[in-house]
Amino acid sequence: MHRFDLATSRHTQALDITHLFSGRAWPDGLLLVTVEHTTAALFLGESGSEMFADYERVAAGLIEDYGPWQHEVWNPGNAQSHVLSSFIGGQLLLPVTDGRLDLGTWQRVIFLELDGPRQRHLAVTSVATRPL
């Protein structure tokens, strides 16, 4: 298992983390990437500052009116972050060919911080495949 560390700088922040995977050759097959937290999400999506503004605006607004929140142990807005990240999900299986990520033309690996700024960790596991 490999672990990536990641620092976010804003409360709600989309980050293209595809470059994290470029530093080494991975075993061909699949990489499972899992967010090890409960207030951040992970998905495949298009990259770019305008796209990120759209992800972030929807993430901030989609469930904001569903309070009053019961789970407000840490800080205001934290419960909303838990619910939204759980519903979006935090796992991806990424194809690897010739040691590199083999994604669709517009697909990038996007990390969605929902309760930042924080230090974050991602677990990476190699999954065995079979010929098809």
Contacts with its own copies, residue ranges (CB under 8 A): 1-2, 26-27, 29-30, 32, 34-38, 43-46, 48-51, 53-55, 57-58, 61-63, 66, 69-71, 73, 79-80, 82-83, 85-93, 95, 103-107, 110, 121, 123-132
Distance CA 41, CA 17 (A): 12
Per-residue CA distances from 3 to 48, 52, 90, 120 (Å): 25, 24, 15, 10
Least distance from C-beta 21 to its own copies, angstroms? 12
Least distance from C-beta 119 to its own copies, angstroms? 13
Closest by CA position to 123, among listed 99, 96, 92, 88: 92
* Cβ 108 vs Cβ 44: under 8 Å: yes
Nearer to its own copies, 11 or 107 (CB): 107
Least distance from C-beta 115 to its own copies, angstroms? 11
